[in-house]
Amino acid sequence: MNTTQIRLNGLEQTVNAPDNTPLLYVIRNDLDHKGTRFGCGSGNCGACTVIVDGQAVQSCDMQLWAAANKDILTPEGLALDPIGQMVQSAFIQEQAAQCGYCINGILMSVTALLQKTTHPSKAQLMEALNRHLCRCGTHVRILRAIDAVIEQLNEKRAA
């Protein structure tokens, strides 16, 4: 058992767990943040996506030692981020979720992308969404929600 420091949604956290524990398990089991979902467990579905130091990463693929002293944003922390707030609001407005299981990971990837660039190309957007599997068929609504956020960001930039 090792002691590891992380910043989860802006708060310093001390975690007592083996260094090779997947970050997903630490977030869900040790820190009780259930918005980060367990999907495939092998980094292929995107349900467990979180933002680590500005990068969208699959937390089932990241070991705790790699997250030490890093800023981690989970779905519970999206309200703390201005772009995260906009993304959440747009997804709600467009009703861009059906079962809701994968959507938290998608929210995280979209937020990370829009934090880097407020006007991503279609290729950048597709790359950000590439590792997310959604079987519900809300893809059109998801894209509409993202377009709405991009439009808002561009209006703010122009103002």
Q: pLDDT (tens digit, 9 = 90+) per residue, 112-158?
A: 999 999 999 999 999 999 988 877 778 899 999 999 999 999 888 88
Q: Does the pLDDT at position 88 exceed 90?
A: yes
Residue numbers of the domain that contains 59: 2-74
pLDDT given for residue 101 in this prediction: 80
Half-sphere exposure (Cβ direction) of 141: Cα atoms closer than 13 Å? 18
Q: Which residues make Cβ contacts (< 8 Å) with residue 106, sequence separation at least 6?
A: 46, 49, 129, 132, 134, 142
Arithmetic mean of pLDDT, 95-121? 92
Q: Does the pLDDT at position 7 exceed 90?
A: yes
Is the same domain home to 97 and 36?
Answer: no
Is the same domain home to 36 and 22?
Answer: yes
- Give the whole-angstrom CA distance, residue 150 versus residue 153: 5
Q: Does the pLDDT at position 23 exceed 90?
A: yes
Arithmetic mean of pLDDT, 25-48? 93
Task: Please answer whether residues 92 and 149 qualify as being in contact, where contact means their C-beta atoms are separated by less than 8 angstroms.
Answer: no
Is the same domain home to 90 and 154?
Answer: yes
Counting residues of the chain whose pLDDT is more than 70, the rounded percentage is 100
Arithmetic mean of pLDDT, 51-79? 97
Name the domain count of the chain: 2
Is the same domain home to 116 and 142?
Answer: yes
Strand 55-58 and strand 2-8: pairing? unpaired
- Residue 154 sits in a domain whose CATH number is 1.10.150.120
- Residue 60 sits in a domain whose CATH number is 3.10.20.30
Structure tokens at 36: 């980060």
Is the same domain home to 49 and 100?
Answer: no
| pTM of the entire predicted model | 0.93
